[in-house]
């Protein structure tokens, strides 16, 4: 069993924290590594390394920064298979899914390669006689990223390529459940020529998080994780004067109108609910069937759920792997039980799922629960497992009301053949990311990702143009030079253009 260390100032560091976390193989249930857990001194060492590196990195030319980003892009692409293997081994997701995650992270690196263009300011010639006005953006300093277990490569990549390209230095605190991928990414940054201290990784739990939130040299915090922690972190970090974007949990509804092709819908909903064992913040966890769509859809989903090939992530035949921990399996199974007790129909029950040869793995089978009502725990709680709840609505308007009454607002989708219905839906829902006949509407890297309501605390979405805005602050210069016709005399009145 190996020990996973921090990465501070350009290399691995054991640190002074004495705590250790367990990293499991979710397919077998075996403890495979231990990970060091940072104390305040380790976090301070990482932040100081980043603060020191900031002095020169923030002054490094855009052209030099872009060169390193291009080199990093090539290295991530070359190591995509290795990264996917590391993700799958600790998270449990199937290899093809892990490869997809790496690809979506890579796309953010590619976006950040265009940093010279993205940081272009504006210029107004002769705003007043002999006076020009222009703007540019500067980095913030040391910025921190705190990330969840479910995308150990992609979610950190929503943050660090953009932050670093903007001239910041970065301290990543990844999930302690699947920490190894972050150290591999750190090695790739170093190989790409990134100076030591620009990208650091501290492993840990809430002790490390609190130390980052309280550290005076951390200028901004990006967080992705569950809503209670997002809310807490936003409160504490903003009280400490930091800029914060904190993306929280989700309950994503897919509305199915009776005019939709139900075979197409069932295939896509099954993939969106059970892919990655439902451990995606954009997973569809609530299907809202409108009018007569309910019964035929329930039948098709039942068939699809039974067809999903469940097995260890490393087996290429598997379509769905285990969930991340024994605790997650227990929580998901308890919620399925609550659905049955509270009067819903469990059409396909994934509790007690066994995979031959992997009896101790953290497997939960695909689950479909019909006739769910909005008061039931399976609806009010984020299950974060392979469980699809079905609800019924009389009309599309009623479905929109249901979505808007839900506290989350991350993603949603509508399945329909009607452009008018889709347009009314996209205008009516209070949700950040919307799919039209697309169940997982994860925006491309050059747009920004983020939800509304309890799915986001702070006002900036992540990556894309909003990511650039989050990791920089603007300056506007009003300038005049002698000999350009500018007025010479001074006046006591408030300056106006002439
Ligand atoms: P989590 O909130 O438990 O953990 C996220 C991070 O916070 C981890 O780094 C963890 O170490 C840290 N943390 C945990 N408890 C803490 C505490 N008490 N104080 C301070 N820090 C703490 O989330 P998770 O279980 O790793 O990930 C799943 C959650 O993330 C789901 O709710 C999912 O919807 C959400 N998520 C959201 C998005 C999005 O874009 N909105 C994307 C991915 C995941």
Helix/strand/coil (H/E/C) assignment for every residue in 364-403: CCCEEEECCCCCCHHHHCCCCCCEEEEEEECCHHHHHHHH
Residue 497: predicted pLDDT: 80
Is 388 inside any structural domain? yes
Q: Whose CA is nearest to atom 43 of ligand 1?
A: 281
Instruction: Using DSSP bridges, classify how beta strands 122-128 and 456-457 pair: parallel, antiparallel or unpaired.
Output: unpaired
Specify the 3-state DSSP secondary structure of 459: coil
Is 308 inside any structural domain? yes
Q: Which tens digit of pLDDT belongs to each residue from 20-29?
A: 999 999 999 9
Residue of 225, 328, 445 with the most ligand 1 atoms within 8 Å of its CB, for mutation: 225
Give the pLDDT band of residue 492 (cuts 50, 70, 90): confident
Same domain as 379, residue 462: no
pTM above 0.90, yes or no: yes
Same domain as 187, residue 130: yes
Query: b or e along 318-332 (b: 16 or more beta carbons within 10 Å of the residue's beta carbon)?
Result: bbbbbbbbeebbebb
Query: Are the C-beta atoms of 412 and 253 separated by less than 8 Å?
Result: yes
Is 496 inside any structural domain? no
Closest CA to 160 of 176, 140, 143, 141: 143
* Residue 173 Cα: closest atom of ligand 1: 9
Specify the 3-state DSSP secondary structure of 487: coil
**pLDDT of 124 over the 80 cut:** yes
Same domain as 239, residue 131: yes
Query: Are the C-beta atoms of 129 and 476 separated by less than 8 Å?
Result: no
Instruction: Give residue 246 CA to ligand 1 midpoint distance, Å.
Output: 10
Residue of 101, 104, 146, 148 with the most ligand 1 atoms within 8 Å of its CB, for mutation: 148
Q: What angle do CA 386, 387, 392 make, to 5 degrees?
A: 150
Mean pLDDT to the nearest integer, 140-146 = 98
Residue 491: predicted pLDDT: 83
Query: In the predicted model, what is the mean pLDDT of the chain?
Result: 97
Is there a catalytic annotation at residue 166?
no
Mean pLDDT to the nearest integer, 126-133 = 96
Residue 488: predicted pLDDT: 77
Residues flanking ligand 1, CB < 6 Å = 146-151, 155, 173, 175-176, 205-206, 209, 224-226, 229, 247-250, 281, 382, 384, 410, 451, 455
Instruction: Give residue 450 CA to ligand 1 midpoint distance, Å.
Output: 15
* Residue 456 Cα: closest atom of ligand 1: 41
Total domains in the chain come to: 2
* Residue 230 Cα: closest atom of ligand 1: 2
Q: Whose CA is nearest to atom 34 of ligand 1?
A: 249
Same domain as 405, residue 461: no
Is 378 inside any structural domain? yes
Same domain as 235, residue 317: no
Closest CA to 182 of 257, 256, 91: 91
Q: Whose CA is nearest to atom 22 of ligand 1?
A: 206
Same domain as 242, residue 256: no
**pLDDT of 487 over the 80 cut:** no
CB atoms inside a 10 Å sphere around CB 475: 11
Q: Which tens digit of pLDDT belongs to each residue from 155-214?
A: 999 999 999 999 999 999 999 999 999 999 999 999 999 999 999 999 999 999 999 999
Give the sheet arrangement for strand 199-201, strand by strand: 11-13, 6-8, 199-201, 169-173, 142-146, 218-224, 243-247, 456-457
Q: Which tens digit of pLDDT belongs to each residue from 395-412?
A: 999 999 999 999 999 999
Mean pLDDT to the nearest integer, 424-452 = 98
Distance between CA atoms of 1 and 118, rounded to whole angstroms? 44
Give the pLDDT band of residue 65 (cuts 50, 70, 90): very high
Instruction: Give residue 155 CA to ligand 1 midpoint distance, Å.
Output: 11
Range of the domain at 241: 2-248+455-477
Is 101 inside any structural domain? yes
Is 492 inside any structural domain? no
Instruction: Give residue 90 CA to ligand 1 midpoint distance, Å.
Output: 16
- The CATH code of the domain that includes 89 is 3.40.605.10
Same domain as 215, residue 295: no
DSSP characters for 217-251?
A: TEEEEEEES-HHHHHHHHHHHHHTT-EEEEE----
Same domain as 461, residue 419: no
Residue 489: predicted pLDDT: 82
Is 24 inside any structural domain? yes
Q: Which tens digit of pLDDT belongs to each residue from 282-320?
A: 999 999 999 999 999 999 999 999 999 999 999 999 999
Distance between CA atoms of 356 and 347, rounded to whole angstroms? 23
- The CATH code of the domain that includes 391 is 3.40.309.10
Same domain as 237, residue 317: no
Q: Which tens digit of pLDDT belongs to each residue from 322-360?
A: 999 999 999 999 999 999 999 999 999 999 999 999 999
Same domain as 319, residue 173: no
From the list 171, 281, 310, 336, the catalytic residue is 281
Instruction: Give residue 457 CA to ligand 1 midpoint distance, Å.
Output: 13
C-alpha 132: how far from chain center: 41
Instruction: Give residue 249 CA to ligand 1 midpoint distance, Å.
Output: 8
DSSP characters for 434-451?
A: EEES-SS-PPPTTS-B--
Residue 10: predicted pLDDT: 98
Same domain as 146, residue 264: no
Residue 184: predicted pLDDT: 98
Instruction: Using DSSP bridges, classify how beta strands 284-290 and 433-436 pair: parallel, antiparallel or unpaired.
Output: unpaired
Q: Which tens digit of pLDDT belongs to each residue from 404-435?
A: 999 999 999 999 999 999 999 999 999 999 99
Give the pLDDT band of residue 440 (cuts 50, 70, 90): very high
Residue 20: predicted pLDDT: 98
Same domain as 117, residue 164: yes
Specify the 3-state DSSP secondary structure of 191: helix
Is 487 inside any structural domain? no
Residue 150: predicted pLDDT: 98
**pLDDT of 485 over the 90 cut:** no
**pLDDT of 369 over the 80 cut:** yes
Distance between CA atoms of 346 and 308, rounded to whole angstroms? 17
Residue 1: predicted pLDDT: 81
């Amino acid at each position: 069993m190996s020990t996973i260390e921090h990465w501070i100032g350009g290399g691995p560091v054991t640190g002074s924290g004495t705590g250790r976390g367990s990293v499991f193989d979710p397919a077998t249930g075996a403890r495979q590594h231990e990970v060091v857990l940072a104390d305040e001194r380790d976090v301070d060492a990482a932040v100081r390394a980043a603060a020191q590196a900031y002095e020169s990195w923030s002054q490094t030319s855009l052209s030099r920064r872009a060169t390193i980003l291009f080199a990093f892009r090539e290295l991530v692409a070359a190591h995509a298979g290795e990264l996917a293997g590391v993700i799958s081994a600790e998270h449990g997701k199937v290899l093809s899914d892990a490869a997809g995650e790496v690809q979506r992270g890579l796309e953010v690196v590619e976006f950040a390669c265009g940093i010279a263009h993205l940081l272009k300011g504006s210029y107004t010639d002769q705003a007043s006689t002999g006076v020009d006005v222009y703007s540019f953006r500067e980095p913030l300093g040391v910025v921190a990223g705190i990330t969840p277990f479910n995308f150990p490569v992609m979610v950190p990549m929503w943050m660090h390529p953009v932050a670093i390209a903007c001239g910041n230095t970065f301290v990543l605190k990844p999930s302690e459940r699947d920490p190894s991928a972050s150290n591999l990414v750190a090695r790739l940054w170093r190989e790409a020529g990134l100076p030591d201290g620009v990208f650091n990784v501290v492993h840990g739990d809430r002790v490390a998080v609190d130390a980052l939130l309280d550290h005076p040299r951390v200028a901004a915090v990006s967080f992705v994780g569950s809503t209670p922690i997002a809310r807490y972190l936003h409160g504490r970090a903003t009280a400490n004067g930091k800029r914060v974007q904190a993306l929280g949990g989700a309950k994503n509804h897919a509305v199915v109108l009776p005019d939709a092709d139900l075979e197409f819908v069932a295939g896509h909903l099954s993939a969106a609910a059970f892919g990655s064992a439902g451990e995606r913040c954009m997973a569809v966890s609530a299907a809202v069937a409108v009018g007569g769509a309910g019964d035929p859809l329930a039948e098709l989903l039942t068939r699809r759920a039974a067809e999903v090939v469940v097995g260890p992530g490393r087996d290429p035949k598997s379509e769905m792997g285990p969930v991340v921990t024994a605790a997650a399996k227990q929580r998901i199974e308890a919620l399925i039980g609550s659905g049955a007790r509270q009067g819903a129909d469990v059409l396909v029950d994934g509790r007690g799922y066994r995979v031959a040869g992997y009896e101790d793995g953290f497997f939960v089978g695909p689950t479909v629960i019909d006739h769910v009502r909005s008061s039931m725990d399976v609806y009010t709680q984020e299950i974060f497992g392979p469980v699809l709840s079905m609800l019924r609505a009389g009309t599309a308007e009623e479905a929109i009301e249901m979505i808007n009454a839900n506290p989350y607002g991350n993603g949603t989708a509508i399945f329909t053949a009607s452009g008018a219905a889709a347009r009314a839906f996209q205008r009516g829902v209070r949700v950040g990311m919307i799919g039209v006949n697309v169940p997982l509407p994860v925006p491309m890297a050059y747009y920004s990702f983020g939800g509304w309501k309890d799915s986001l605390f702070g006002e900036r979405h992540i990556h894309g143009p909003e990511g650039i805005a989050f990791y920089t602050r603007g300056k506007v210069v009003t300038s005049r030079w002698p000999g350009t016709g500018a007025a010479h005399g001074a006046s006591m009145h408030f300056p106006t253009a002439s």
